[in-house]
Amino acid sequence: MKKRNLPTGINRKRWIEKLSDEDYKNLPKEDRDNLKRFQTYSRLREQKTKTLNELRKKVKDLKEDIKDLDYKEESNFIKVQHLHNIMGCRIELTRQKETPKSITKNNQITYGGTLGFGTTVGSQPYTLSKHYIRNTYNGKKLEISYVYHGKIISKNFSKPKSFYLQTEKRLFSTIKDLKGIDISQSKNPLDIVKRELLVHYREYVISKMRKMGVKEFEKQKVKFSDFVDWYKKNSKKKSVN
């Protein structure tokens, strides 16, 4: 008599006696349906258990591989660790007041005359100057603005390398164009500019140093407009990838 096959895996938690075909046919429909579902779920459970055991073995093998590679990595790092930060640098940014030329232009009035001692013989010429601050120019109110400068500091340079970014108004516009962030109302603009630009600017500087060599880079003028072009170009590459 043909027996019905049920899951028999070593990890099987539940089982019932095997039924003959005739006994199976004589089961009530509800029992037959439940038995089918039990067989299906038992079979799937055993398959999953088998896969899990295989993966556990694979994880164990991977851990052994990592341990071996960790040793190899460390032993080779010792040989090249002197190259660490050979192209490293630190970048500092400063925010400075910019006084419009028109504020200091023609801000001195000179008066002349003769200082006498009772007679014209002892008279001496004199001049007096009066300084004032111009608040308007050509009918427009003058405002103090800010500009941003920076320094690239590296142990590979003979001295820090200075560079100019932009006026604050233009810099805010540039950041909005590059990153879609409006920082014009920030109470701490320098901190925000550092947060949004320094990482990218340092990456740009290091890429230039690697391409040109430290000595050659030190001779070249760093232009903020070149950084903007570099950032846009690299952003497009990342978006494509």
Each residue's pLDDT tens digit, 154-211: 888 888 999 999 999 999 999 999 989 898 888 899 999 999 988 999 999 988 888 8
Q: What is the rounded distance in angstroms from the CA atom of residue 140 to the CA atom of residue 52?
A: 78
Please check whether residue 167 lies inside any domain of the structure. yes
φ, ψ for residue 88, nearest 5 deg:
-70, 155
Whether residue 59 is found in the same domain as residue 155 = no
Whether residue 213 is found in the same domain as residue 157 = yes
Residue 133 has pLDDT above 60, yes or no: no
**Which helix (H) or strand (E) element contains residue 108?**
strand 108-115
Please check whether residue 13 lies inside any domain of the structure. no
Residue 82 has pLDDT above 60, yes or no: no
Whether residue 167 is found in the same domain as residue 105 = no
Whether residue 49 is found in the same domain as residue 120 = no
Please check whether residue 4 lies inside any domain of the structure. no
**pLDDT for the residue 114:** 53
Residue 241 has pLDDT above 70, yes or no: no
Whether residue 113 is found in the same domain as residue 177 = no
**Which helix (H) or strand (E) element contains residue 233?**
helix 224-240
pTM exceeds 0.85, yes or no: no
Please check whether residue 230 lies inside any domain of the structure. yes
**pLDDT for the residue 19:** 77
Whether residue 72 is found in the same domain as residue 121 = no
Whether residue 152 is found in the same domain as residue 128 = no
Residue 126 has pLDDT above 50, yes or no: yes
Q: What is the mean pLDDT of residues 225-229?
A: 93
**pLDDT for the residue 81:** 65
The boundaries of the domain holding residue 167 are 86-96+147-241
- Reported as a pLDDT band with limits 50, 70 and 90, residue 2 is very low
Please check whether residue 197 lies inside any domain of the structure. yes
Whether residue 117 is found in the same domain as residue 171 = no
The domain total for the chain is 3
Please check whether residue 50 lies inside any domain of the structure. yes
Whether residue 122 is found in the same domain as residue 178 = no
**pLDDT for the residue 240:** 58
**pLDDT for the residue 209:** 85
CA distance from start to end of the chain:
64
Residues near 87 by beta carbon (within 8 Å), at least 6 away in sequence: 156, 206, 209, 210, 214
Percent of the chain with pLDDT over 70: 69
Whether residue 138 is found in the same domain as residue 151 = no
Whether residue 90 is found in the same domain as residue 207 = yes
Query: How high is the mean pLDDT of the chain?
Result: 79
Q: Residue 234: how many CB atoms within 10 A of its CB?
A: 14
Long-range contacts at 120-128 (CB < 8 A, ≥ 24 apart): none
**pLDDT for the residue 61:** 95
Please check whether residue 157 lies inside any domain of the structure. yes
Whether residue 202 is found in the same domain as residue 235 = yes
Q: What is the mean pLDDT of residues 106-122?
A: 51
**pLDDT for the residue 63:** 94
- Reported as a pLDDT band with limits 50, 70 and 90, residue 101 is low
Please check whether residue 239 lies inside any domain of the structure. yes
